[in-house]
A and B are shown apart, each in its own frame.
Chain A
Amino acid sequence: MFHSNKHKYYDSWINFPSQTPHKKSDFSLCELDSSPTTNFKHRLKFKNNQNREIALHSDEAFKDREIDHQWMFQVKDVVSFFWTSGSKTMTYKLDSLGTKTLVHYWFIHIVYPLYLTLEDKYYFLHSGAVTINNKAVSFMTRSRGGKSTLTDYFLKQGHTLLTDDKLATYEDEEKVYAVASYPYHRPYRGYETLGEYVENFESEVLVLGTIYILKKEDASAEVEIVELKGIEKFTHIYQNSEIAFLLEFSDQMNYLGSLAKKVSVFSISIPWDLTRLEEVYTKIIQHQNTLNPGKQNV
C-alpha cells in the first residue's frame, strides 16, 4: 500500500540485450584515404563500382560540410565533376575514356544524388518507386532481389515512375515526401547503363505512402504481405539507405527514425517465377486499395 503509486518493476531486463540479428551496413564500400594525389586534402575511395576506380575528394573533412566546401568526384580516366557547397553549378572535365554517354550516366545516377545529399536537400533510399493511388510506393531489397523487375512490371501497367534505384525523400512534421529522381529505367542492368527513357515519369512530389521489402521465395510460395514494426522495420530501412553514410550518424538515425514512424513498411514474399508477377502486382494493388479506400485507381 505504501508503494501503491509506483510502477511494477520487471527484472527481465537485467541482462543487457545482445545485438539484433541484422547485417551490418556495408561500410566496407569505402575507405578514407588521407594521402590524396590531388590538391584536395581528403579522399574517400569507393570499391570497384561499375569496374571503375572512383573517389570523392574534398578540401575539408567530409563531416565538416560548410558553404564554399570544395568537392571533386572522380571516375578515373573517364570524368571528374567539381562543385562548391552552396553553389548550384557543377563543372566537369572529360578524361581520356570519357564520352557524353558516360558523363550522363555518372552525373544522373551517381553524382547528382551525391550532391543533393551533401547539400542536405534530400535523403536517398535504395529503392524502386512508382505511383499507386496518387502516393509513392517504394520497393526495397538487396541487389538482384527483384526490385527493378517489379518496378518494370508496374510501369508496363501504366503506373508512373519515380525511380528505379535511388528515391529522394524529405520530411515535414507529419509526412515523408518522395521526389522523382530521373526518367530512366534499367530493368536489366549492365555496367554504366543510363537506361531506357521513361515517358511516364512522375512530375509531382508525392507523399511516401508505403515501403514494401521484397523477400525472394521459392517459385511456389504464396504471395504474403506482412506489416513490419519496430526494430525490424527500422533495420530494413537502414540497410537500404543509399548515400547516407556520408552524413553524421546522428543525422542518419534521426531521419530514419522519423521516417520509420511516419511510413508503413510491409514485407512481401515474391515467388521467384516471372509468370507470377501479375499475381504479385494484383496483391500489391489490392493491398494499396485497402490502405487507401476511396482513392483507388490502376
Chain B
Amino acid sequence: MYKNKTYTISPSVMLQHIDDESLLMDANTKLFYELNDMGSVLWETLQHHTNFDGVVKEMLQNYDVSQEQLQNDLMLFSKEPIEKEMIIINEEC
C-alpha cells in the first residue's frame, strides 16, 4: 500500500527502553504504547529510514522471513501509527 512512499516519524514520538521493555511515547496525545522485542526492533528500523522499502530491505538482511510476509506485517504494524500521525506519509511531489 505504501510501496515507493516516503514517511517521517513524528517528532512528538519518542522510544524509551526501560529495563527489558520498550515504550513509545506520543507527546501530542500523552499516551504510551508498549512494544515487545520485535516491535521495538521494527520501530528503531523505521527510525533509520525514510521509506518502507528501506525498512524491508534492512529487516530481510537480519531476520529469517519472507519478503511478502514482512511487507504484510509491516503494513499491519504501521496502520495504527499512521492513523494516529505517529508516522506521517509524505505527499508525493
Contact = CB atoms under 8 A, between A and B. Distances in A.
Interface residues of B, number: 37
Contacts of A14: 72-73, 76-77
Nearest to A258: B16
Interface in B7-43: 12, 14, 16-21, 23, 25, 27, 30-39, 42
Given A230-B21, A234-B23, A253-B25, A13 B36 contact: yes
A17 interface: yes
Contact of A257 (B18, B64, B73): B18
B34 A11 contact: no
Interface string A211-243: 000000000000000000111011100000000
Given A17-B33, A17-B35, A6 B21 contact: no
Contacts of B78: 16
B1 interface: no
B55 to A, nearest CB: 14
Contacts of A233: 18-19
Interface residues of A, number: 33
A249 interface: yes
A250 B18 contact: no
B79 interface: yes
A234 B37 CA distance: 18
A252 B77 CA distance: 27
A257 to B, nearest CB: 4
A1 B30 CA distance: 45
25 contacts: A6-B63, A9-B38, A9-B64, A11-B69, A13-B38, A16-B78, A17-B35, A17-B39, A19-B31, A20-B32, A20-B34, A22-B32, A24-B30, A24-B31, A229-B20, A230-B18, A230-B21, A231-B21, A231-B23, A249-B25, A253-B25, A254-B14, A257-B18, A261-B18, A261-B19
Interface of A: 3, 6-20, 22, 24-25, 27, 229-231, 233-235, 249-250, 253-254, 257, 260-261
Given A15-B76, A231-B32, A234-B16, 18 more contacts: A7-B63, A9-B38, A9-B63, A10-B37, A11-B73, A13-B35, A13-B37, A13-B38, A14-B73, A16-B77, A18-B33, A19-B31, A22-B32, A24-B30, A27-B30, A230-B20, A253-B25, A260-B18
